[in-house]
């Protein structure tokens, strides 16, 4: 699988659509890689292409001046973050959102958030018709939560099929 991905990458990067037949049909040269009819490259040609790829990558990064582009992107990003903080629209205010959504009074911590999410989920289950019957009976020792969740997921199960689970 790795070989296929690298071969595809080389075809894309070099974008040369020439193939040269060598010694008849059994061997050919494509993008500087000498391959046999099974598509297996020789080791020397693979290393040669890797060195060409590294040289091309360093040349491209030097000519494009990527360091200048990254500076422009970082200043643009800083400006966007500043506007978000000023307008109070960014996810930096997620704690306030969570306090409102889950009606939390205390500070938002992982434990308090998990408890609030569980309580909200239980309240939603209570509102539904069929699961609410099961939910109200959860304190009864004859009711099993794991078995009831299986029942909710699969519906009415015949005793023979229930033994499979």
User: For residues 110 and 164, which has the higher predicted lDDT (pLDDT)?
Assistant: 110
pLDDT for residue 3: 47
pTM of the entire predicted model? 0.31
Q: Alpha-carbon distance 31 to 28, whole Å?
A: 10
Band (92; pLDDT cuts 50, 70, 90): low
Residue 133 in tokens: 């019957």
Tell me the per-residue pLDDT of 54-84, one tens digit each, with 9 for 90 and over: 777 776 666 555 555 555 667 877 787 777 7
Residue 18 in tokens: 């020439």
Contacts of 14 (CB under 8 A, 6+ apart): 31, 32, 52
- Read off the DSSP letter of residue 40: P
Q: Does position 111 have pLDDT exceeding 80, yes or no?
A: yes
Would you say 34 and 22 are in contact if contact means Cβ atoms under 8 Å apart?
A: yes
């Amino acid at each position: 699988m790795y070989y296929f991905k690298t071969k595809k990458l080389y075809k894309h990067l070099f974008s040369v659509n020439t193939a040269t037949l060598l010694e008849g049909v059994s061997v050919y040269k494509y993008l500087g890689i000498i391959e046999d009819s099974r598509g297996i490259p020789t080791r020397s040609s693979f290393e040669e292409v890797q060195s060409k790829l590294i040289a091309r990558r360093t040349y491209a990064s030097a000519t494009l001046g990527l360091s200048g582009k990254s500076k422009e992107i970082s200043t643009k990003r800083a400006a966007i973050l500043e506007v978000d903080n000023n307008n109070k629209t960014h996810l930096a205010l997620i704690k306030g959102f969570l306090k409102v959504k889950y009606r939390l009074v205390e500070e938002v911590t992982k434990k308090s958030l998990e408890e609030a999410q569980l309580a909200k989920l239980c309240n939603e289950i209570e509102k539904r018709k069929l699961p609410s019957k099961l939910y109200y009976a959860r304190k009864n020792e004859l009711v099993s939560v794991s078995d009831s969740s299986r029942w909710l997921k699969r519906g009415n199960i015949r005793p023979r099929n229930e033994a499979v689970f």
